Amino acid sequence: MTEIPEHLLKRAQAARDKAATETGSPDSAGAPPADSRIPEALLNRSKAAKEGGGVAVAERVATGVVAVAPNGNAPIGTGPGGHTQRLLTVVKSGSIQDVKAVPVDKVHTWPHLLGPEFVSALACTAFLFVFSWFVNAPLLQAANFNQTPNPSKAPWYFLGLQELLTMFHPMIAGVTLPGVALVALILTPYMDRNPSNKPEDRKFLTSIFTVHLMFWAVLVIIGSFFRGPGFNFVFPWVEGIFFEL
């Protein structure tokens, strides 16, 4: 048996006094007038608790059992319609709990990104090892220091830079333009902060990368197939192709 706390009794008494003041005085039997704002079920429960000398407390949260008043009246905790649902069964958790675990579409770099990249690097290395075992590289004869090949071309991945050297000053072609292009590619993700992964939603980023790729591809194609002896401009369908892998 557990006694009702003193502060709850005072609050209940103050509420009854306020209701009696607003709606009228109680009758001679001590019952409030008919238009009292206190529900009848609450008055009956309070009366039963006073007559029984306390309130029987059960483990309602853990077991769902509703305590019964000592005088055998209706179970304590029932609502106006006799319902005995627990509070947590009718109140949504979102209204009383602060849910901090918000689902996001991000994953950790390790192992979700670096793991597959490492496996891909191993697969590419194994493929190149096996491929070079069966296919010989198209190497030329030993270099002759007394005779320079004409035309003398850089490897294909540097032919774009060599083509720029024929058009601009070495400082501009070798440092300024490549540096500006690399810085622009580095800053592009910060200028286009669209989180979408769809190309149609990333038009700015796609345009920047496409322009850079096509500009470099055109320079490599010109240096590979349209440059002949003396690195002069020629037509490959007339003069032939002066390029070897």
84-93 tens-digit pLDDT: 555 555 555 5
Classify residue 162: in a domain, yes or no. yes
- Residue 131 belongs to some domain of the structure: yes
**Residue 229 in this model has a pLDDT that exceeds 60:** yes
Does one domain contain both 28 and 78? Answer: yes
Instruction: Specify the pLDDT at position 54.
Output: 47
Crossing angle for the helix pair 203-225 and 177-191, to the nearest 10 degrees: 160
Say which range, 156-160, 187-191, 232-236, has the weakest mean pLDDT.
Answer: 187-191
Q: Which residue has the higher pLDDT, 60 or 103?
A: 103
Q: Is residue 54 part of a domain?
A: yes
- Which helix (H) or strand (E) segment holds residue 110: the answer is helix 109-112
Say if residue 127 is in the same domain as residue 46. no
Contacts of 12 (CB under 8 A, 6+ apart): 46
Which tokens sit at 143?
């270099």
Decide: 193 and 137 in contact? Cβ < 8 Å: no
Weakest mean pLDDT among 119-123, 188-192, 199-203, 241-245: 241-245
Q: Is the pLDDT of residue 216 over 80?
A: yes
On whether the CB atoms of residues 222 and 236 are closer than 8 A, the answer is: no
Cα first-last separation, the chain: 96
Residue 123 three-state SS: helix
Q: Mean of the per-residue pLDDT values for the chain?
A: 76
Residue 221's pLDDT band, with cuts at 50, 70 and 90, is: very high
- Tell whether 166 and 237 lie within a shared domain: yes
Question: Going by C-beta distance under 8 Å and a sequence separation of 6 or more, which residues neighbour residue 20?
Answer: 26, 32, 33, 36
Q: What is the mean pLDDT of residues 192-202?
A: 83
79 shares a domain with 162: no
**pLDDT tens digits, one per residue of 27-81:** 544 555 544 567 777 778 777 777 754 444 444 433 444 444 455 555 555 555 5
Residues 228 and 155 in one domain: yes
Q: Are 16 and 81 found together in one domain?
A: yes
Can you give the pLDDT at residue 44? 80
Nearest 5°: CA angle at 52, between 12 and 55? 60
What are 229-234's contacts with CB under 8 Å, separation 24+? 229/150, 229/151, 230/150, 230/151, 231/151, 231/152, 231/153, 231/162, 231/166
Task: Tally the residues of the chain.
Answer: 245
Q: Can you read off the two tokens belonging to residue 160?
A: 């774009």
Is 235 part of any domain? yes
Residues 64 and 115 grouped into a single domain: no
37-46, 74-83, 121-130, 170-179: which has the minimum mean pLDDT? 74-83
Which of 17-31, 34-48, 158-172, 227-241 shows the lowest per-residue confidence on average (mean pLDDT)? 17-31
- Local confidence band at 226 (pLDDT 50, 70, 90 cut-offs): very high
Q: Residue 194: beta bridge partners?
A: none
Could you tell me if residue 142 is inside a domain? no
Shared domain for 221 and 155, answered yes or no, is yes
Mean pLDDT of 81-110: 62
Which residue among 25, 59, 93 closes a domain?
93
Q: Name the pLDDT band for 119 (thresholds 50, 70, 90).
A: very high
Q: What is the per-residue pLDDT across 41-51, written as a single tens digit (0 to 9) for each?
A: 777 877 777 77
**Is 159 a member of any domain?**
yes
- Would 101 be classed as within a structural domain? no
Has residue 99 been placed in a domain?
A: no
Q: Are residues 176 and 219 in the same domain?
A: yes
User: What DSSP line would sit under 172-239, residue for residue?
Assistant: IIIIIHHHHHHHHHHHHHHH-------GGG-HHHHHHHHHHHHHHHHHHHHHHHSB-GGG-B--HHHH
Query: Which residue segment(s) compose the domain that 230 sits in?
Result: 150-245
186 and 128 fall within a common domain: no
Q: Which residue has the tokens 């309070």?
A: 46
What total number of domains does the chain contain?
Answer: 3
Judge if 154 and 209 occupy the same domain: yes
Are residues 112 and 22 part of one domain? Answer: no
